[in-house]
Structure 1
């Protein structure tokens, strides 16, 4: 019997999507009418009506799910044991269960299935170097359309595949329909591009639960029309839409095989991928000027503020400071609280940045109990390994630790620096953080560094920003006023080493400061970016990003919107003013959210840690 999803755990109220009947009411009833209803009804009556509509929606949804499963079973789409029923906003879908689904894996599987189907049918085809990174494209001669459709119908019948029109510009794609159905192909009879999708789901996924990767990761079949060059007699195949390299290929051209990383920037660079070679044409194989082929590592700094041994070491250091911290945020417990964010940040990295070469975790003689420290993809680095002066250890100043990141043995020249409260929210590419010529990108915030000299009331980030500004003014004559977003920071070891030599006094003073000081500089998160920009080695760039201060009101609703839309490339869950008493409430908020956003464990987690219960994930992967 086919496997169907088990009942999902009861989600927190803010995880639940708006009931369909309520959405229908808001969509169909004009706003003035709804406002009039609000004016004549009490809040209690409206809440009761919403609860009633929610219960009615749930009951009707369960009935639709039962009917839908029967319909899919009768259509033969649930015959395999590794298929389950999932749901998106357009209805029920059949998905293939994958132990650890990722966007890159779903993309590769859909491309493989299409190429193998065309190969079995004896149809000439070639992988196209398309603009999409989470989807793929295959070109076929338009004259072979009937044979291509027949091969895809057979493929969809065997693999529970779906077909649709892909999005183009501002025009959204069409609703995917079972590709084994003649009705689906009648709608696509003249389409120059058709998308094939097999949905992929994590174990235990189902309607409203788990991770589902759908249409965004499908494979486009492009029908290339025969034509002639403007000057010449050579027969050509003309592309139905733009791609990265060519508008046409010779109709009788020979096929070649090329590595998969040429066709998506999500794949690891040359020499670090194990994917099979892909059938293509020579026109799609040249090296392009914006390709990034240098390795990129990731560095995390992490601390477990609940560790008794660490707390004793910190107490010994702070007891020697008679004046106490210069600002309440400089030594607030929130800076050291461990909400298990690192586990989920690593999941986001595994899911959305598979091109990363290696991860370095910088800690103070600590290792998370769930981490597979022996995994070849990660190295745990103790503070003693990177500090050249043992007299300044132990240190509890993150800005001091950050001054030594470029001294990590084996670290690549180009790397990303993550705090453990920073997460990737959707697929990113190396080009989002670096240029192919080696320049780094940085992401300016609208928040400003207060003008004027250091003031006793300055929060630590403003004090460090003022110190950075003073150094840059003296060196370049430029006054910086903007802070940087709390994102992954794109860095170069050589630039950090140059800053160490250029400003030895402030650098050594920050390194020697065991707790945050008003004289600290912020090296990787701010000074590096401005110094590199003013020396021609960095550029400002955009990044879809959001920042959540957990101490502020309205965070649950904002997190719910983020979970539904998954529109951010990166986001930060930060807290600088809470105390230990707030930790339980924050865990109750964050753990279900993070489990819902990142339900698939990374290979860096121990097997026992992967068995924890997970909350529902109400939205599939975004269509980007």
Structure 2
């Protein structure tokens, strides 16, 4: 990886990602001399022999910036593109095949200063590097400007590019190279009903119905709630120790691992910004002071226990089960929301349909781990006891026995179902909410009481669709697993759990964990401040401006 043609070191290390900046890992075979004008830019470096913009942008921002710039290039060449939605939901632009030469010429001219790449048929070529027509004879190609984060650990390429299609008008039919979300490849011209749509601050020409929600799309607001405790706070440690001296807790429930943190919540929030930007609001349920890097932002809200607990007599609480039993009372929370701990992260772009069907039915992921047999016992962990209480309640009501835990990942819930669940088991909710520490009589609402109750009453289904990963960071295999996770980036969600029985030195665990999180989520979110106290810029505007302005 080097900047310009001088060979100076530009970024720290090789980018850690399987995602190729060229289509499906294809490499350009063009000489670098043709890229000289682009490589003169201070914000362009060579990665794997290909020019990349150095940009602190999310995948969605990169896609939007390229879409806007490509449209501006075409319009400047007197070509009016048609905005399409692909079957995947991603954008595409269609132009008349008769304007093909002008469209390619416009891209070629812009490639004098921008590192445009054209991916087609499993290969990719860079404009301006000795390739007069990277499109060849293909009727479509994916165009994009490769990007790399300043850290060098995140690359964005073809999977976030824009497909440019050349449509052929022939008499009374139009032939497109691909079907899309609305149309077949061959369309009768009489069936073309053009309209406009406002998107990304711009008005686009499109087809009527192209952007109307489909029958399987979820269109309601979705929020997310994170529970978080700053276990490193000396005030927290003193208060917890004072109150715990009067209680007997279960196996592992007293361990500091349940509360210590390495700023995981910062990266959990970054994962939302990076891979789930459709989430409307983020709530952080905590009684700890706000982290220093968090500034006021309309998307992020800290909620204290006294703001949503029905009975405040037992506060403050050190019981996550108690907090989880009161989440539905958070003011302003959407009907449909996700719940996650601060050690749970999104690992790649996800869509709301991963969590909810179009009808609002939640989709949860069962674990292969069994709850286990036997009754509750003070020697068991609070988690294991709560699973047994859940099982007994559900068996009594429905005559069915649950056997599995849920995966450690963001879980979908509905406020109305949680209120209904509380009405069905009022004493259990009240008892759990009043327990200062985890106890052998707690229920666990978010794992798994809610989900199986919703399943048995027709408001939830199980799913195997999300690819998840659970890593115990204190165990020997966890070190290798974190390194592999960063290199591959091949899961939808993952959990980096801080176990209570360490096998590796804490200094090693902390170093690998920090490297993994900073490498995986190098893009600072707009609600962060820098070390000097300055707000982080919300997005990159480098490609959003009109060409030639």
TM-score, normalisation: structure 2 = 0.87
* Larger helix percent: 1
Is residue 257 from structure 1 mapped to residue 196 from structure 2 by the alignment?
yes
Q: Are the aligned partners of 2:88 and 2:181 in contact in 1 as well (CA < 8 Å)?
A: no
- Tell me how many residue pairs correspond in the alignment: 517
> d(CA) in 2 for partners of 1:341 and 1:471?
34
- Describe the SS at the equivalent of 1:237: strand
1:601 and 1:251, CA in 2 relative to 1: closer, same or farther beyond 3 A?
Answer: same
> d(CA) in 1 for partners of 2:504 and 2:237?
17
2:339 to 405, 412, 417: 417
Q: Are the aligned partners of 1:384 and 1:390 in contact in 2 as well (CA < 8 Å)?
A: yes
Is residue 572 from structure 1 mapped to residue 529 from structure 2 by the alignment?
no
> d(CA) in 1 for partners of 2:279 and 2:201?
16
Is residue 92 from structure 1 mapped to residue 29 from structure 2 by the alignment?
no
Q: By how many angstroms is 1:72 displaced? A: 5.6
> Paired residue for 1:280?
206
**Off by >6 Å, runs of 4+ in structure 1:** 1-5, 15-18
1:608 to 524, 531, 544: 531
1:244 to 174, 181, 184: 181
1:531 to 453, 456, 466: 453
Is residue 215 from structure 1 mapped to residue 158 from structure 2 by the alignment?
yes
Q: By how many angstroms is 1:361 displaced? A: 0.9
> d(CA) in 2 for partners of 1:311 and 1:69?
61
Q: By how many angstroms is 1:440 displaced? A: 0.9
Is residue 193 from structure 1 mapped to residue 130 from structure 2 by the alignment?
no
> Paired residue for 1:521?
443
Cα deviation per residue 1:585-622 (whole Å; 9 max; x = unaligned)?
321221111111111211121121799xxxxxxxxxxx
> d(CA) in 1 for partners of 2:264 and 2:441?
29
- Describe the SS at the equivalent of 1:467: helix
> d(CA) in 1 for partners of 2:518 and 2:8?
17
- Describe the SS at the equivalent of 2:523: coil
- Describe the SS at the equivalent of 1:392: coil
1:138 to 85, 93, 96: 93
- Kindly report which structure 2 residues correspond to 1:8-407, keeping only aligned pairs within 5 A, or say none: 8-9=11-12, 71=33, 74=36, 76-81=37-42, 83-87=43-47, 91-98=48-55, 100-133=56-89, 135-165=90-120, 173-174=122-123, 176-181=124-129, 183=131, 185=133, 188-202=135-149, 204-205=150-151, 209-227=152-170, 235-247=172-184, 248-249=186-187, 251=189, 253=192, 255-260=194-199, 275-321=201-247, 324-325=248-249, 327-372=250-295, 374-407=296-329
> d(CA) in 2 for partners of 1:126 and 1:510?
56
1:381 and 1:589, CA in 2 relative to 1: closer, same or farther beyond 3 A?
Answer: same
- Describe the SS at the equivalent of 2:363: strand
1:350 and 1:258, CA in 2 relative to 1: closer, same or farther beyond 3 A?
Answer: same
Cα deviation per residue 1:271-322 (whole Å; 9 max; x = unaligned)?
xxx543332122413332223221111111110112111112212211112x
Q: By how many angstroms is 1:574 displaced? A: 0.4
Is residue 458 from structure 1 mapped to residue 380 from structure 2 by the alignment?
yes
1:506 and 1:190, CA in 2 relative to 1: closer, same or farther beyond 3 A?
Answer: same
> d(CA) in 2 for partners of 1:338 and 1:103?
28
Cα deviation per residue 1:23-42 (whole Å; 9 max; x = unaligned)?
xxxxxxxxxxxxxxxxxxxx
Q: By how many angstroms is 1:259 displaced? A: 3.6
> d(CA) in 1 for partners of 2:522 and 2:251?
36
- Describe the SS at the equivalent of 2:290: coil
> d(CA) in 2 for partners of 1:511 and 1:258?
48
- Describe the SS at the equivalent of 1:608: coil
Structure 1: unaligned runs, 5 residues or longer: 19-67, 167-172, 229-234, 261-273, 612-624
> Paired residue for 2:547?
none
Q: By how many angstroms is 1:210 displaced? A: 4.0
Q: By how many angstroms is 1:10 displaced? A: 7.0
Q: Are the aligned partners of 1:72 and 1:78 in contact in 2 as well (CA < 8 Å)?
A: no
Q: Are the aligned partners of 1:426 and 1:568 in contact in 2 as well (CA < 8 Å)?
A: yes
Cα deviation per residue 1:184-231 (whole Å; 9 max; x = unaligned)?
636x422232111112333x35xxx24321121111112223357xxx
> Paired residue for 1:427?
349
Q: By how many angstroms is 1:238 displaced? A: 2.4
- Describe the SS at the equivalent of 1:557: helix
- Kindly report which structure 2 residues correspond to 1:493-508, keeping only aligned pairs within 5 A, or say none: 493-508=415-430
Aligned-CA RMSD value: 2.8
Cα deviation per residue 1:231-259 (whole Å; 9 max; x = unaligned)?
xxxx2222322221111555485642214
Cα deviation per residue 1:129-174 (whole Å; 9 max; x = unaligned)?
10235x53111233433333323322333422111116xxxxxx32
Q: Are the aligned partners of 1:332 and 1:579 in contact in 2 as well (CA < 8 Å)?
A: no
